[in-house]
Amino acid sequence: MSILANMKVIAIGDRDGVPGPAIEDCVKTAGGEVVFSSTECFV
């Protein structure tokens, strides 16, 4: 499954939801390239 093949991805995660590193893993599995990843805390 390479639904994100040849795509560059910016991942903004949420500490109390899905954090950046978890999104990164999903993007890589789907063939995408993470160009920026960050996790933010909104509380």
Between 9 and 22, whose beta carbon lies closer to another protein? 22
Q: Which is nearer to another protein, 6 or 42 (CB)?
A: 42
Residue list 1-40, contact with another protein (CB under 8 A): 14-22, 25, 39
**Whole-number minimum distance, CB 36 to another protein, in Å?**
13
Buried b (16+ CB within 10 A) or exposed e, 3-42: ebeeeebebebeeeeebbeebbeebeeeebebeebebeee
| Residue with the two structure tokens 């960050």 | 38
- Residues within the interface to another protein (CB under 8 A): 14-22, 25, 39, 41-43
